[in-house]
A and B are shown apart, each in its own frame.
Chain A
């Protein structure tokens, strides 16, 4: 009887939602509920390490074949697990699009558990610091720009670019070319997996020069 009542209530709740006209897809299907946070936290780094190796997911490639010092692909070591997990899910669902589609193909072969394990593995690696001597001529890193309603980068990404626990990536020591491309993609809307367009709105107010300077700042930050 209880179950019957419950299902009736559920139907009642689902009814109006189902009846609503289909709206646009959300920019990301990841929601940081307590369950998701705990799931990512419990990712197994050991399994993650095995998955990064050649032949495990892609037949003849390992993660490090592309994510290395010489390429323009992002540095993954020391990145926040919540951020990595969300990117993988977004790649799988097509909310984030890799122009070469490599990451989308690759992520489509992963299970949710695989993603949490990979995120845990890279999260545990020591981050590679920048070479130091970073200076920010734009002033946006620490104070932002009130006239443009531009918040300071550091208010979310941390005073030393270390990122923030839930889904705010580490920037310090990241490759300048990757950071620059990412900001440009956000500005042009090519990358659109930020919930409520938060980074798109921020990037849309930046000039080419500022983007270059900010990318340089964070890549040299140690």
Chain B
């Protein structure tokens, strides 16, 4: 090691014994490569965050988690699949995650249509995940989580919490029924879904 390099000087100032550090040629190459990769990724992330505004989706809107039920969009009578017209492109679903369930516990949505989930936590950190689909997000207390997805396949799906939230975490799941477009229209005509 070069005795005039800053690291050698610092070491001698600190009274550390000057040792020659042996770094293999191949090892050195890997260090350069790894450092370059990390640098490259940091640059990409920074460009994304600063210029393209690619930030975690759950951190845009804040809400007071403790008083969700007192009013506003997560009031007790405003939850679930929101009323929609046949011409609507997006169907909105509002859910509250609270230990230990998603409320309402059961929802029915149509297949092949954009479903926008808006979710908030009443207490601690939760996750929302529907297996076999791409619907998955964190629900951070104090923030509204919004995720939009399309369910291509009708069927019954569980909506699971995938962030450990307490002793009843393994009981925290709710049911999502995805109906084919015909069944959905029939349900609307029967007046079961405004």
Contacts and interface: CB of A to CB of B under 8 A. Distances in A.
Interface of A: 17, 23-24, 26-29, 31-34, 36, 144, 146, 149-152, 154-156, 195-198, 201
B101 A23 contact: no
Interface of B: 64, 66-67, 69-72, 75-79, 96, 98-101, 103, 105, 122, 166-168, 171-175
A29 B168 contact: no
A196 B122 contact: yes
A150 B103 CA distance: 14
Nearest to B96: A196
Nearest to A166: B123
A201 B101 contact: yes
A29 B105 contact: no
A19 B40 CA distance: 50
B103 A26 contact: no
Contacts of A156: 99-100, 167-168
Nearest to A143: B171
22 contacts: A23-B78, A24-B76, A24-B77, A26-B70, A26-B76, A28-B69, A32-B66, A33-B66, A34-B66, A146-B171, A149-B101, A150-B171, A151-B101, A151-B171, A152-B167, A152-B168, A155-B166, A156-B100, A195-B69, A195-B122, A196-B79, A201-B105
B100 A196 contact: no
A149 B71 CA distance: 27
B71 A17 contact: yes
Contacts of A29: 70
A28 B76 CA distance: 10
A24 B70 CA distance: 10
A191 to B, nearest CB: 15
Nearest to B106: A149
Contact of B67 (A24, A33, A149, A196): A33
Contact of A26 (B75, B96, B100, B171): B75
Given A151-B168, A196-B79, 5 more contacts: A26-B69, A31-B64, A150-B171, A156-B168, A197-B76
Contacts of B71: 17, 23, 26
B64 A155 contact: no
Given A26-B70, A32-B66, A156-B99, A149 B75 contact: no
A152 B69 CA distance: 24
A197 B76 CA distance: 9
A151 B99 CA distance: 10
Contacts of B99: 155-156
Given A17-B71, A26-B75, A152 B171 contact: yes
Contacts of A28: 69
B69 A31 contact: yes
Nearest to B103: A196
A146 B100 CA distance: 12
A33 B64 contact: yes
Among B75, B76, B96, B174: residue with most chain A CB under 10 A: B76
Contacts of A34: 66
Nearest to A155: B168
Contacts of A155: 99-100, 166-168, 171
A169 to B, nearest CB: 15
Contacts of B78: 23
A118 B103 CA distance: 33
A23 B103 contact: no
Given A198-B101, A201-B101, A154 B167 contact: yes
B67 A198 contact: no
Nearest to B75: A23
B77 A144 contact: no
